[in-house]
């Protein structure tokens, strides 16, 4: 009975303090609350009564759940951003230094290179491209800046000129191991040219170069036809 007497008293106080449209709004709010109330705690147990009855009706019940949802979404976005940053770092590690390519030719000369008493690394000193700085023109050696699959090509050109016959042999080596070669030995041709292309899986620091075999020579290359080039097809994580 005590509860029943308190409710009419609250209604009377609100009606006394309100007039006109305000009293009508207050009655509508009390009516909706009474209809939805099934006993026990008030609907939306976390109601801020000060807010619900005097300021912004309708939003106060959802304020805390919305805040919690906003916080959860924000933390999720932070987690996704961290994941994207880690993935980006991994991609950069894999593709670091992926722009690796070089092209070099022998300096034009009408004279002969060789013959020598031992195999001699050919120094292709006219460099037109050296991305990644892997090629050393002084030594004629390419040192892999990054592990990966590489493509290499070399062209051997010789013209008899002052020599009595074509007598050339050059070979491509990786870390001292012969990979491919090109040779010519006859008295009938006065000029000869050949090109070899190979694919090599290299570790970082592997060296690739072309050498002229002992007793052989390259002659009459007045236009820099003897060439050595290479490039990285795709990198690998194996160092």
Q: Is a pLDDT exceeding 80 seen at residue 223? A: yes
Q: Is a pLDDT exceeding 50 seen at residue 5? A: no
State residue 11's pLDDT score.
Answer: 45
Query: Alpha-carbon distance 204 to 159, whole Å?
Result: 37
**Lowest-pLDDT range, 12-26, 89-103, 116-130, 195-209?**
12-26
* Domain residue ranges in the chain: 1-35, 45-95, 101-235
Of residues 237 and 59, more confidently modeled:
237
The count of residues in the chain is 239
Q: How far is CA 32 from CA 44, 46, 57, 91, 183, in A?
A: 14, 18, 12, 59, 100
Band of the pLDDT at 233, cuts 50, 70, 90? very high
Rg, the chain, Cα only: 43
Q: What is the pLDDT of residues 138-187, one digit of tens each?
A: 999 999 998 999 999 999 999 886 667 788 899 999 999 999 999 888 77
Of 34-43, 79-88, 171-180, 213-222, highest mean pLDDT = 171-180
Tell me how crowded residue 151 is: count the other CB atoms within 10 A of its CB. Answer: 14
* 3-state helix/strand/coil string of 163-200: CCCEEEEEEEEECCEEEEEEEEEECCCCEEEEEEEEEE
Angle between the 21-36 and 2-17 helix axes, to the nearest 10 degrees?
150
Q: Is a pLDDT exceeding 60 seen at residue 48? A: no
Element (H, E) at 42: none
Of residues 32 and 19, more confidently modeled:
32
**Cβ proximity of 145 and 132 under 8 Å:** yes
**For 101-235, CATH number?**
2.60.120.40
User: Average pLDDT of 125-142?
Assistant: 95
Mean pLDDT score of the chain:
80
Q: Residue 36 contacts by C-beta under 8 Å, 6 or more apart in sequence? A: 43
Query: Alpha-carbon distance 92 to 98, whole Å?
Result: 10
């Amino acid at each position: 009975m005590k509860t029943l007497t308190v409710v009419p008293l609250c209604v009377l106080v609100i009606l006394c303090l309100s007039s006109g449209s305000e009293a009508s709004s207050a009655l509508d709010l009390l009516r909706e609350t009474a209809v939805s109330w099934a006993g026990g705690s008030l609907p939306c147990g976390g109601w801020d009564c000060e807010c619900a009855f005097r300021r912004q009706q309708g939003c106060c019940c959802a304020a805390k759940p919305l805040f919690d949802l906003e916080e959860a979404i924000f933390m999720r976005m932070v987690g996704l951003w961290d994941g994207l940053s880690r993935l980006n770092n991994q991609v950069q590690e894999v593709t670091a230094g992926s722009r690796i390519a070089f092209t070099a030719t022998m300096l034009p000369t009408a004279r002969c290179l060789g013959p020598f008493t031992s195999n001699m690394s050919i120094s292709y000193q006219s460099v037109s491209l050296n991305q990644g700085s892997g090629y050393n023109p002084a030594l004629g050696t390419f040192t892999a800046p990054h592990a990966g699959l590489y493509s290499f090509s070399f062209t051997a050109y010789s013209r008899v000129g002052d020599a009595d016959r074509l007598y050339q042999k050059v070979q491509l080596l990786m870390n001292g191991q012969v990979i491919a070669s090109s040779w010519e030995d006859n008295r009938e041709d006065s000029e000869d040219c050949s090109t070899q292309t190979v694919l090599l899986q290299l570790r970082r620091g592997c060296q690739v170069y072309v050498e002229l075999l002992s007793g052989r020579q390259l002659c009459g290359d007045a236009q820099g036809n003897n060439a050595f080039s290479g490039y990285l097809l795709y990198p690998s994580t194996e160092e």
